[in-house]
Amino acid sequence: MTVLGDRSIILRNRGNGNHWLAISLIGSRSNRDGFGARMNVNGQWSYSSSAGSYLSASDKRLHFGLGAVREVPVEVLWPSGARQVLNHVSADQFITVREPR
């Protein structure tokens, strides 16, 4: 990582054995990126957006820390009003969820 006016910094993620899930959304009736969708994964709510700060954007994938849990239910509330539920989604992966037509 670079630091304005200072030395660079090196970060190392040693991990701790906990599980995670990263989800990308693709809208059909809603907007293409699924922005505005609300998602519930294992009781954690998140809102789909890429908003960052001035002249920047953040990763549009939604990332959930799952702790020791290896399988979770995923609920997506799309901006179109559609509700989609995926059961028994395995942890430690990147997935793409497409809005039903």
Provide the number of structural domains found in the chain. Answer: 1
Range of the domain at 41: 19-50+58-98
Q: What is the pLDDT of residue 8?
A: 94
pLDDT of residue 53: 79
CATH of the domain at 68: 2.60.40
Low-confidence ranges of the chain (pLDDT < 50): none
Is residue 8, in this structure, part of any structural domain at all? no
In order of 6, 15, 29, 52, 76, the CA distances from 35 in angstroms are 36, 30, 12, 13, 12
Asked whether residue 14 is domain-assigned, the answer is: no
pLDDT of residue 13: 84
Give the pLDDT score at 92. 97
Q: Please give the full DSSP string across the chain, using - where no structure is assigned.
A: ---TTS----------S-EEEEEEEE-SSS-TT-TT-EEEETTEEEE---B-STT-B---SEEEEEET--EEEEEEE-TTS-EEEEEEEESSEEEEEEPP-
Q: What is the pTM of this model?
A: 0.81
